[in-house]
Amino acid sequence: MGALPKIFGAYAGANKLDPQLNEAIMLTVNSQKQCPYCTGLHGELGRMAGLDKEVDQLLAAGSVAEVQKVSDDKAVTYARLFADCNGRGQELSDALAEVAKVHGDGKAISVDALCWFLHWGSVGGNTLNRALRGEIKSPWAFMYVVYYGPLFGTIKVLSMLLRVVPQVPPMISGVIGVILATCASVWVIPLGLLGSVFG
């Protein structure tokens, strides 16, 4: 929940990122996480932001080296390292320092926030699919599906609708990012508040 202001900052404000870089980061984290909801949504958002063949190339990248063949941006390299390290470790801290040297401290914070945003979404989407397939043997699996099913169902429908949307100007990409972060907040904030009270 504490990351939400930084996530919004990646789409609007002084630390906003170029939409192509923003979506390259999301696609790269998902190249390791393999969430089908994230693939659908960020594949379309990447295309709309002006990424063309890079969408499939980043999604198919199996390593940092393969990501670097598509993009030499330190932020995109960081995104793959983040995914490989689950957001932790000294190597990742060093890589974020490299991002800050290129993009500045504020934008490095935005890069990190986007990685956490996609990480959260991919864990949520993959967990939902496991619950729907009956792979989670917990009485809470049903509640998880009830709580998160509408969010990921909406993402799936939105991804299909976005297929007909052409490339859009950067400002429109930013607005879409703010709307998506707002929608995700509807599911994050209640659990975050419960966690702060009972955690």
Q: Whole-prediction pTM value?
A: 0.95
Neighbours of 27 (CB within 10 A): 30
pLDDT tens track for 123-141: 999 999 999 999 999 989 9
Residues of the chain with pLDDT under 70: none
- At 27 the pLDDT is 98
- The mean pLDDT value of the chain amounts to 95
- At 135 the pLDDT is 97
- At 191 the pLDDT is 86
- At 148 the pLDDT is 95
Angstrom distance (rounded) from CA 159 to CA 47:
12
Domain count, the chain: 1
The domain containing residue 141 runs over which residues?
Answer: 4-198
- At 67 the pLDDT is 98
Measured in degrees and rounded to the nearest 5, phi and psi for residue 136 equal: -100, 115
**Burial track 131-151 (b if 16+ CB lie within 10 A, e otherwise):** beeeebeeeebeebbeebeeb
pLDDT tens track for 78-104: 999 999 999 999 999 999 999 999 999
